Structure 1
Amino acid sequence: MLKKVAIFFLSLACLGTRADQAAATDAALGDTATTALALGLGMAELNPLGAVSAVMMKVATMAYIKELPQTEQALQYSMVSSLWGGAAASNLCWLTGAGPACFLLGAIRGQYLWNAGQDERAFWAICESERQTHASMRCEWKKAPG
């Protein structure tokens, strides 16, 4: 049992806290992989779309976000990262046998990921606002180290 708990918390640490394309991809892969593992172990899929449709929806969502203006992408990537990252955390929890508390854990992890992207979302909102008066302004997000 202790081994399962250790694997669970290490997996959560690997899910990341960025609000970018890589974070959304990591969250989508985490959700998909943990769903596939759970289904392989005989658990039921709760997503009404089903596993295959959910994967296709993730691919289409990522393609749509990539086509948005850069100033809008952080918000969208934050939304899907927190949704899919929370789902991956919940799935991992279910795999450890923790039961219904996993829904709460998934929601907490999703909220944590959403909060972690706040600085980047605020940066891009300010950038968009400043571009209203300075059309040629160039914005580049770089997270401070540490």
Structure 2
Amino acid sequence: MRRSAAPSHTPNGLLAATWRRRFAATALVVCATNPAAWAAEDTSANAGLSPKQVAQTMAIGDSLSTGLGLAAGAVEANPLVSTTPLGLVALAGMKLLMLNEIDKYPEEQRVPLQRKMSSFWGGLTANNLMLAAGATGGLAIPAGLLASYMIYNSEKFEQAEAAALAKANQKHDFRVSPTYTVVTELSVRPAKADGSYDPDATLTTVEVKTTNPLLAKVNTYLHPDGTKYYVEGHRLKTTG
């Protein structure tokens, strides 16, 4: 978004106020009717917002601040973005759906993506708010870049990404025990040739026979034929 050199398209204060009210009302209705978008992740008692919640906040903030900037006379620089209130709300919804989709990724891949998205959308939000306050691009763009840098390098994101990578390094492939009394059904995706996670792989199910029930979440499963799978869910079927 950039500040327009021409006068605002709203001919008087009444029309501008009406536009703001319409945008705010639409945004509030959509956010209020979509509580799943604000569902909390697993966080410790003193962790504050999770990486996903920060990214959700920045996604919605980008659209809301774009609306404020437009109401103040700024011009949307991206021709692909609809500048109607409904279009901006729809854009925020698409971002939230994108964040929900990457929930399927392993944590060591998911957290870095949430960090980058938060940084990008947070920078755009800061830029838009500066334009809405009457700043020129010479001030708004550096402010957006600074906000993006600060969000990306924040201590919370540093800790979250480090914790995710450390947890990934402690994971071990789950292997079948030679004796068994328990049958568990796993929902799995085959790994890539190099053993990494493949989000596009077909989700399938396999039955695994073990001595004891799987009490903790299983992250990966190594089939006796050597195929590595990433586990997306599991359920107990039978016990002997």
TM-score normalised by structure 1 residue count: 0.71
What does 1:58-137 align with in structure 2 at a 5 Å threshold? 58-100=95-137, 101-116=139-154, 117-132=157-172
Contact 2:68–2:129 (Cα < 8 Å) also in 1:
no
Counterpart residue type for residue 72 of structure 1: Q
**CA radius of gyration, larger in:** 2
How many residue pairs end up in the alignment? Answer: 122
RCO comparison, higher one (Cα < 8 Å, 6+): 1
How much has 1:96 moved relative to structure 2? 1.4
Hey, what's the Cα distance between the residues in 2 that align with 1:57 and 1:103? 24
Counterpart residue type for residue 61 of structure 1: M
**Alpha-carbon RMSD:** 2.6
The answer for unaligned runs of 5 or more in structure 2 is 1-47, 176-215, 219-240
2:71 to 40, 57, 63: 40
Q: SS of the residue aligned with 2:75?
A: coil
Cα offsets for 1:79-117 (capped at 9, x unmatched):
111111111111111111221221111011011000011
TM-score normalised by structure 2 residue count: 0.45
Cα offsets for 1:47-75 (capped at 9, x unmatched):
34214374354133212222222332211
How much has 1:77 moved relative to structure 2? 1.0
Counterpart residue type for residue 123 of structure 1: A
Q: SS of the residue aligned with 2:148?
A: helix
How much has 1:30 moved relative to structure 2? 0.9
Hey, what's the Cα distance between the residues in 1 that align with 2:75 and 2:149? 25
The answer for unaligned runs of 5 or more in structure 1 is 1-16, 139-146
Hey, what's the Cα distance between the residues in 2 that align with 1:46 and 1:57? 19
Hey, what's the Cα distance between the residues in 1 that align with 2:174 and 2:153? 29
